[in-house]
Amino acid sequence: MKKLKQYTNAIMMAAYKAVRENHMKVDRAAVTFGIPKQTLRDMVLNKVNVNAKSGKDSLFAHDEELSGKAYLKSMTPLKIQARFRKAGILPFDATLQGLSPLYNRGRRPLPN
């Protein structure tokens, strides 16, 4: 099994500052902070961006993501209601009002 990284970005930055500002040797800083020597050496030699983040980049800005979540949250009860109506499972006059807490908050009336 592949060994995952055992350090955080804050620990990496502390090791980087120890090498840059306190003139600690890279090997000593790597052992002290528990970071791979080559990773720290690459950062010190500017082969890797210091502010680089691991993982995938987000497709949306933070505010766009929040508005999308709010939209999906508001539309979910309507989609559930439409599926039940299409299948003919439940009468939706008062049954869904008891099932869904979103309708009980007075956000929107039940569609007919």
Domains of the chain: 9-44 (1.10.10), 62-104 (no CATH)
Q: With beta carbons less than 8 A apart as the criterion, state whether 40 and 26 touch.
A: yes
What is residue 4's predicted lDDT score, i.e. its pLDDT?
78
What is residue 89's predicted lDDT score, i.e. its pLDDT?
64
Report the 10 Å Cβ neighbour count for 46.
8
What is residue 100's predicted lDDT score, i.e. its pLDDT?
53
What are the angstrom distances between the C-alpha of 44 and each of 8, 23, 48, 57, 82? 17, 11, 8, 24, 58
Instruction: List, run by run, the mean pLDDT of 10-residue segments along the chain (112 residues).
Output: 82 93 94 93 87 73 81 74 68 51 53 56
